[in-house]
Amino acid sequence: MLHKSQRLTMRVKTTIVYEQLSRARKRIAVMQGGTRSGKTWNILLFFIIKLAYQETGKVFTVCRASLPTIKGTVLRDFIEILLSMGLYSEDRHNKTDQTYELNGNLIEFISADQPQKIRGRKRDYLFINEANELTKESWMQLLFRTSKFVVLDYNPSDEFHWIYDDVLTRDDVEFFISTYRDNPFLSEELVKEIERLELADPEYWKVYGLGERGSSANLIYTHWKPIEALPGRGELIYGVDFGFVKPTAVVGVEIWEGAIYADEIIYQDRLTTPNLADEMLLASVRRSPIMYCDSAEPKTIEELRQYGWNTWESDKSVLEGIKRVKSMPLYITTRSTNMVKEIKNYRWVVDKNGVRQDEPVKNYDHSLDALRYAIFTHLSSPQRTWTAM
Ligand X SMILES: Nc1ncnc2c1ncn2[C@@H]1O[C@H](COP(=O)(O)OP(=O)(O)O)[C@@H](O)[C@H]1O
What is the binding site for Mg ion (CB under 5 A)? Answer: 40
Distance in Å, CB of 82 to ligand X, minimum: 13
| Cβ nearer to ligand X, comparing 35 with 273 | 35
Distance in Å, CB of 15 to ligand X, minimum: 5
Long-range own/partner contacts, residues 168-173 (CB < 8 A, 24 or more apart): 168/30, 170/28, 172/26, 172/27, 172/28, 173/26, 173/27, 173/28, 173/29, 173/30
> How many other β-carbons are positioned within 10 Å of the β-carbon of residue 387?
6
- Measured CA to CA, the distance from residue 84 to residue 187 in angstroms comes to 19
**Contacting positions for ligand X (CB under 6 A):** 13-15, 33, 35-42, 45, 183, 185-186
Distance in Å, CB of 20 to ligand X, minimum: 12
| Cβ nearer to Mg ion, comparing 213 with 372 | 213
310 binds, among Mg ion, ligand X, none (CB under 5 to 8 A by kind): none
- Measured CA to CA, the distance from residue 180 to residue 370 in angstroms comes to 30
Q: DSSP character for 180?
A: G
- Measured CA to CA, the distance from residue 158 to residue 162 in angstroms comes to 10
| Cβ nearer to Mg ion, comparing 40 with 132 | 40
Q: What is the dihedral of CA 285, 289, 290, 293, to 10 degrees?
A: -10
214 binds, among Mg ion, ligand X, none (CB under 5 to 8 A by kind): none
- Measured CA to CA, the distance from residue 111 to residue 309 in angstroms comes to 30
| Cβ nearer to ligand X, comparing 36 with 117 | 36
CB 51, CB 105: distance < 8 Å: yes
| Cβ nearer to ligand X, comparing 184 with 382 | 184
Provide the strand spans (E) within 194-353: 225-227, 235-241, 248-256, 259-268, 291-293, 311-313, 330-333, 348-350
41 binds, among Mg ion, ligand X, none (CB under 5 to 8 A by kind): ligand X
| Cβ nearer to ligand X, comparing 84 with 327 | 84
Distance in Å, CB of 129 to ligand X, minimum: 8
157 binds, among ligand X, Mg ion, none (CB under 5 to 8 A by kind): none
Distance in Å, CB of 185 to ligand X, minimum: 4
Q: Which of 9, 17, 369 is nearest to 184 (CA)?
A: 17
15 binds, among ligand X, Mg ion, none (CB under 5 to 8 A by kind): ligand X
Distance in Å, CB of 37 to Mg ion, minimum: 8
